[in-house]
Structure formats: C-alpha cells, structure tokens
Amino acid sequence: MNVEIMRTYTYRVAWLYDQGKKIHKEAAMVKLFTAETLQGILSSAMPIHGGYGYMMEYPIQRFRWDGRLFTITEGTSEIQRLIIARELDL
C-alpha cells in the first residue's frame, strides 16, 4: 500500500512540475515521505530475512544501507521538514 502511495504521489508531483507549477512544498513532501516510508519497509524486511538480513554478503543489507542514504543525501529529512514548514508559513 505504501509503495503505491509513494508511486502515485511522485507521479502527481512530476505532473505538477510539467504543468509549470511551483512545487517546492510538494517536492519536499514526496522526498520526505518516500525516504521515511522506505526506512520503515526496510526495517520490516530485515527480521523477515533472519540472520541473513544482517550479513553484508546478502542484498537486503545493501538495500538497507542504500536506503538510509535517502534520508541523508538530497537534503536530510529535517531539512525537508523545514522546507515544508516554510512553504506552509509555519
């Protein structure tokens, strides 16, 4: 369900951008939501794989570390929250 929400919202923001709209708030919202949701998905996936989920030889561990970068690069989650608050005049 969350993956579908991420996909749909990303497409909506891309469509708004194509229409020439200002999307500062929406872009920050989609980046924050997808990065945070991905962290939740990966956290749930780790125990499903048992010990293999924590071994560097298996892809799930690499996905976990790669996914963590989304909350750090392209603006941290805190920065995305600040952008959203600024756009909402909070």
- Rounded Cα gap, residues 23 and 72, in angstroms: 21
- pLDDT tens readout for residues 12-68: 999 999 999 999 999 999 999 998 998 888 888 878 877 777 777 777 777 777 777
24: Cβ contacts below 8 Å, ≥ 6 apart: 83, 87
| Superfamily classification of domain 2-87 | Butyryl-CoA Dehydrogenase, subunit A, domain 3 (1.20.140.10)
pLDDT at 16: 97
Q: Could you report how far apart the first and last alpha carbons of the chain are, in Å?
A: 30
Q: Which residues are catalytic?
A: 74
Under 8 Å between Cβ of 64 and 55: no
List, in sequence order, the alpha helices (H) in the chain. Answer: 2-18, 24-48, 59-69, 77-87
pTM assigned to the model: 0.78
Kindly list the domain boundaries of the chain, sorted by start residue.
2-87
